[in-house]
């Protein structure tokens, strides 16, 4: 069995203002660094620490890896959704777009313009989870992004991606799944150890 602690990166200064997506150079704020330190303290023994390639996830994962004497491994399957033309835009601008509202209402069908659909994200994560389960990888921290983690939760529980907004994945939170070749189980959802 593989236990995967899906960790949303710590907070950054743009987290509620701008759709950063895959924008390079978005690092953790002071709050985000404190969240990463709290995560490192509460996580159980880890066999591996994996991270999305983006700066904010790498910074969060580096704090966790240092506390657990682990090597940091980059995993492209954990990367943020490619938001295409929406990348870097303020949420106030996006909220005025009918296609943005449609995408948020029907994530099971929509696609970011010149970007990726959430179903494609779920597909890459499904393949990654199969690989992790087959490898019997032990206890793994996988630092990623809110919608990526939501797609894993939906896959695990058999939920439509249309219901992505029915649960929260907060910055610096832990969501844990167990994975075997036959089965995924949700063990905890959106636990926030830093209060």
pLDDT tens digits along 22-32: 999 999 999 99
| Calpha distance 35→138 (Å, rounded) | 24
Q: Is 106 helix (H, G, I), strand (E, B) or coil?
A: coil
Going across the sheet that includes 48-51, the strands are 72-74, 48-51, 139-144, 2-8, 174-179, 184-191
| Calpha distance 11→113 (Å, rounded) | 26
Place of tokens 């295409």: 84
Banded model confidence at residue 14, pLDDT cuts 50, 70, 90: confident
Mean pLDDT of 115-129: 95
Q: Is the pLDDT of residue 108 over 80?
A: yes
State pTM to two decimals: 0.95
From the CB of residue 180, how many other CB atoms can be counted at a distance below 10 Å?
12
Mean pLDDT of 4-31: 93
- List, for residues 123-164, the tens digit of each pLDDT value: 999 999 999 999 988 999 999 999 999 999 999 999 999 998
Instruction: Give the pLDDT confidence score for residue 19 in this predicted structure.
Output: 93
- List, for residues 39-62, the tens digit of each pLDDT value: 999 999 999 999 999 999 999 999
Least confident of 10-14, 67-71, 123-127: 67-71
Q: Is the pLDDT of residue 194 over 70?
A: no
């Amino acid at each position: 069995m593989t236990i995967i602690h899906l960790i949303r990166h710590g907070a950054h200064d743009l987290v509620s203002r701008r759709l950063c997506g895959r924008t390079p150079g978005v690092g953790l704020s002071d709050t985000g660094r404190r969240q990463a330190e709290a995560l490192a303290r509460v996580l159980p023994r880890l066999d591996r620490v994996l991270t999305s390639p983006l700066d904010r996830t790498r910074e969060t994962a580096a704090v966790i890896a240092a506390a657990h004497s682990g090597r940091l491994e980059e995993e492209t399957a954990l990367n943020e959704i490619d938001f295409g033309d929406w990348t870097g835009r303020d949420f106030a601008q996006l909220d005025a777009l009918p296609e943005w509202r449609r995408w948020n209402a029907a994530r099971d069908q929509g696609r970011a313009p010149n970007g990726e659909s959430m179903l494609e994200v779920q597909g890459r994560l499904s393949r990654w989870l199969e690989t992790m389960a087959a490898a019997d990888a032990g206890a793994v921290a996988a630092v990623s992004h809110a919608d990526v983690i939501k797609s894993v939760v939906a896959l695990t529980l058999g939920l439509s991606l249309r219901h992505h907004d029915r649960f929260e994945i907060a910055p610096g939170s832990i969501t844990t799944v167990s994975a075997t070749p036959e089965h995924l189980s949700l063990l905890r959802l959106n636990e926030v150890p830093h209060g």
